[in-house]
Amino acid sequence: MSDTKSNETEKIEMTAEQFVEKLRNALRKDGDFPASAKIVSELRMLTSDPRTTANQLTEVILREPSLGTRILHLVNSSFYRRAKPIMTVSQAVVQIGMKPLAELCAGLVLLQKFVPVARRGGAFATCLQKTILSSLLSSSLVSESKPNLPSAAGTTKADECGYLAGSFAELGTLLLAYYFPQVYEAAIKRAEQKRVDLQQSIHEITGLSPLQLSLEVVNALDLPGFYKEVLLASLGKPSDGTTNLLPNERGEIARVAKSVQAARDISEVLVTSKNQQELDKLLVSVQKNLSLPSRTLEKIVGELPQVFKKQCDCIELTLPALPAFISNYSGAKSDSGAVAAKPEVLTGDEFMQYVEEIRQAVESGESTAAVITTVMETLAWNIKFDRVLLLLSGQGKKRLAGRMLLGNADNVDPKKIERELGADAAPHTCDAQAFREGRPMFRGDPVIEGGWPLAAIPIGFGQRAIGVIYADRTATEAPELSEREQAAIAVLAELLDRSVGMSS
């Protein structure tokens, strides 16, 4: 940002061509943001190659220490509306699709770049808040506005891309506030003085509307053509022919464009006017435009504080409070003002260090025994479980036997613990379920009495399974594991499976 501050003291008003050139220069100086990020470039290259396998994409995501955790956290959040949780990055690649997941990764990299500046508060933090709200609302509205399709039709690309479509629609304004804060703040003051909305003020100063700014950014960064088409449709412009579209895709793009615009309008009211009467009036218009039941719209708005808080937690950021009147749409009292990221046992930087150590150990071919030990230490010392127990399966895989225990369990001898598998296992035992289903379990009967919350993590998936790591806490009123902690544990399970696979 320091490279651009001298530009901000120049005359504020400029032609559209002048501003676009300044923006493109800022992007180039910043390393062609965000395409310079190694993870984004590599994912784009992989997804453009039809020979790329799901396993290759998973490898790249897991190579970035905290990205896998954030991905699992987000795909299991409310805006993806999945009936069953996605427990591994590999599963996410298969169920969501390589391109949509790669684009979600790009969106996370994009958000992370803005977090340090947003933590300072001020106008930029409010701008980022609007971007996130538009993204979340766009995802929900795109999902709810789709026509009734036969069950076999499944989920369309548009349903999975609603979140990023909302993000990229706000990207022009966000980068304006990021690279040219004085210009953005001047637009805010101008809007207040002339009693016009901020979008009009930005247009008057830069010569471009916020959507036109976003279109310039999408073009400059060579982002996927789908988002360019959505922006063109939002501007009421026809496709420029640079994106190959199938006939049914044009209808999907129109549907997404209408949902994105509605999301932007709603977020604008929530962030600027904070007036329930204005929002009520807007929702009536949105309901007609998207042909949605009023109850559906109220549900989306009512759920927004919870979903927004999860998003803030995921990127470890505190943002301005949402209006208290949102609780009126959910029919229950809401703590929507408390959107600050609540400190969790697990912090991003610490977990990144541990996961990177485990990933390097797996890639360098260290023994599975050594990797298991490191995972157990991570659960005990980093994720702060009170007891961490290693259970290995015997010949025939009919039972699990305790081998090692970390933590506070003075009266427990791990070598005396035996657990049945298969048909002989009790129906709700978390360890047997984790072993059988090849995924972490966070509910069920504890292995050690008094354990809650708990986690049972398979060592190897399916036929490769050789055991389970069980972990729990012993505080009498300990809360359930957070979504972020569950996502972190799922990444550890995937690394364990890779280690077992390389050793077999």
Of residues 191, 200, 232, 240, the one with CA closest to residue 214: 232
Q: How far apart are CA 355 and CA 358, in angstroms?
A: 5
| Confidence (pLDDT) at 221 | 74
| Confidence (pLDDT) at 154 | 46
As given in the structure block, the two tokens for residue 108 are: 């996370």
Whether residue 154 lies inside any domain: the answer is yes
Same domain, 38 and 115: yes
Number of folded domains that form the chain: 2
Listed residues 273, 295, 330: the one ending a domain? 330
| Confidence (pLDDT) at 289 | 92
491 within 8 A of 72, measured Cβ to Cβ: yes
| Confidence (pLDDT) at 334 | 44
| Confidence (pLDDT) at 7 | 45
Of residues 402, 396, 455, the one with CA closest to residue 422: 396
Same domain, 296 and 226: yes
Q: How far apart are CA 314 and CA 464, in angstroms?
A: 32
Q: Which long-range contacts (CB under 8 A, 24 or more apart) does 242-251 make?
A: none
Radius of gyration of the chain (CA): 25
**Would the CA dihedral through 468, 469, 475, 477 be positive or negative?**
negative
- 158-205 tens-digit pLDDT: 555 788 889 889 989 998 999 899 999 999 999 999 989 899 999 999
Same domain, 228 and 270: yes
| Confidence (pLDDT) at 130 | 95
Whether residue 222 lies inside any domain: the answer is yes
Whether residue 39 lies inside any domain: the answer is yes
Same domain, 123 and 234: yes
415 within 8 A of 403, measured Cβ to Cβ: yes
Same domain, 177 and 304: yes
Whether residue 80 lies inside any domain: the answer is no
Same domain, 364 and 461: yes
The model carries a pTM of 0.69
Strand 387-393 with 418-420, pairing: unpaired
Whether residue 86 lies inside any domain: the answer is no
- Domain CATH for 15: 1.10.3210.10
H or E element at residue 403: strand 399-407
Same domain, 207 and 237: yes
| Confidence (pLDDT) at 343 | 39
Same domain, 392 and 362: yes
Domain that holds residue 193: 2-65+97-330
Angle at 16 between CA 15 and CA 21, to 5 degrees: 100
| Confidence (pLDDT) at 38 | 64
- Residue with tokens 């290693």, as numbered in its chain: 390
| Confidence (pLDDT) at 156 | 53
| Confidence (pLDDT) at 416 | 92
Whether residue 385 lies inside any domain: the answer is yes
| Confidence (pLDDT) at 37 | 52
Q: Give 68-82 as a DSSP string.
A: HHHHHHHHTSGGG--
How many other β-carbons are positioned within 10 Å of the β-carbon of residue 248? Answer: 9
Say how far residue 100 (Cα) sits from the centre of its chain. Answer: 12
Q: How far apart are CA 207 and CA 75, in angstroms?
A: 37
Whether residue 84 lies inside any domain: the answer is no
Same domain, 309 and 378: no
Strand 399-407 with 467-472, pairing: unpaired
Same domain, 407 and 266: no
| Confidence (pLDDT) at 242 | 67
Same domain, 364 and 262: no
As given in the structure block, the two tokens for residue 394 are: 């015997």
Residue 150 one-letter amino acid: P
Whether residue 88 lies inside any domain: the answer is no
Listed residues 285, 303, 330: the one ending a domain? 330
Q: How far apart are CA 125 and CA 119, in angstroms?
A: 7
Residues of the chain with pLDDT under 70: 1-15, 27-28, 30-38, 40-41, 65, 77-83, 146-160, 241-247, 330-352, 476
What contacts 23, CB < 8 A, 6 or more positions away?
175, 176, 179, 213, 216, 217, 220
Say how far residue 140 (Cα) sits from the centre of its chain. Answer: 14
Q: How far apart are CA 420 and CA 427, in angstroms?
A: 11
- Domain CATH for 380: 3.30.450.40
Listed residues 298, 330, 362: the one ending a domain? 330
448 within 8 A of 356, measured Cβ to Cβ: no
Q: How far apart are CA 388 and CA 451, in angstroms?
A: 11
Q: Give 376-392 as a DSSP string.
A: HHIIIIIS--SEEEEEE
| Confidence (pLDDT) at 268 | 93
Q: How far apart are CA 367 and CA 364, in angstroms?
A: 9
Same domain, 318 and 257: yes
